Amino acid sequence: MSTFKFKHFSISQANSTMKVGTDAMLLGSIVSWKNEPRTILDIGTGTGVLGLMLAQRTKCTQISAIEIDEAACSEAELNFQNSSWSDRLSAIHNDILTIDFSSKFDLIISNPPYYENSLVSESERTSRAKHAEFLPAELLVKKVAEMLHSHGVFWVIVPAENRELWIAHARENGFHLQKSVCIIGKLRQGEKRRILSFGFDEVKIVFSESVVRDADGNYSAEYIKLTKEFHDRDLSN
């Protein structure tokens, strides 16, 4: 599918190695804040879907979206320009591990590559988008710690089996776990993903759970409600 239609915007994804998926839908819908952030950074934006989702959810926030793949970055920029929030969105073609920003961010989000100890695909672009060796968790967390305001929040979605590794790397860089959302892909099956929220302030950790599909494979009422402002079709059918 070269174009993915949302309720208030569309995503062109013909040139992106990573298409719009459930992980992005969940992260973009679940991310929360106390006060609306003035600045947001989306790391590894791909098609730009997370940036667009958060642009829809905010009023004046300036959103920067960085992407190392040139073709994907160009496509993200096109998606931004075709949206209603083009004045608040910018796509940056660069490597997050080497770039230096002039100011820090209030909110940083990422749907990072996560495959580990698995065969690297023949396509370098696909490998870079999917495999953690191209953006190791420990290096990403360290960079985020440098770029985040003291009051800021970092949100990330990771495979459930890797959650403790991410929490450990975050702790090493002065972060405290603030929210932890268990993602169940299908009812009565094991945890699939974990959405984690980190900040420099130590607070009582909020744990929650979200189920995407019921036992019959239909979207759960919870998921439909969570994403209703984004999907342009009725998921209950």
Fold of the domain spanning 3-226:
Rossmann fold (3.40.50)
Q: Match 């996560």 to its residue by tokens.
A: 114
From the CB of residue 59, how many other CB atoms can be counted at a distance below 10 Å?
A: 8
Low-confidence ranges of the chain (pLDDT < 70): 1, 17, 114-135, 237
C-alpha span between 99 and 115 (Å, rounded)? 24
How many residues are listed for the chain in this entry?
Answer: 237
In this prediction, residue 52 carries a pLDDT of: 97
In this prediction, residue 114 carries a pLDDT of: 59
In this prediction, residue 134 carries a pLDDT of: 58
From the CB of residue 201, how many other CB atoms can be counted at a distance below 10 Å?
A: 11
In this prediction, residue 215 carries a pLDDT of: 93
pLDDT tens sequence across 81-124:
999 999 999 999 999 999 999 999 999 999 987 544 444 444 44
Instruction: Tell how strand 10-12 and strand 3-5 pair up.
Output: antiparallel
In this prediction, residue 1 carries a pLDDT of: 52
Using DSSP, state whether 87 is helix, strand or coil. helix
CB 180 within 8 A of CB 160: no
In this prediction, residue 127 carries a pLDDT of: 41
Question: Domain coordinates of the chain in residue numbers?
Answer: 3-226
In this prediction, residue 143 carries a pLDDT of: 97
DSSP string of 152-180, one letter each residue: EEEEEEEEGGGHHHHHHHHHHTT-EEEEE
Q: Which are the contacts of 139, defined by CB distance < 8 A and separation ≥ 6? A: 97
Q: Match 């590794």 to its residue by tokens.
A: 165
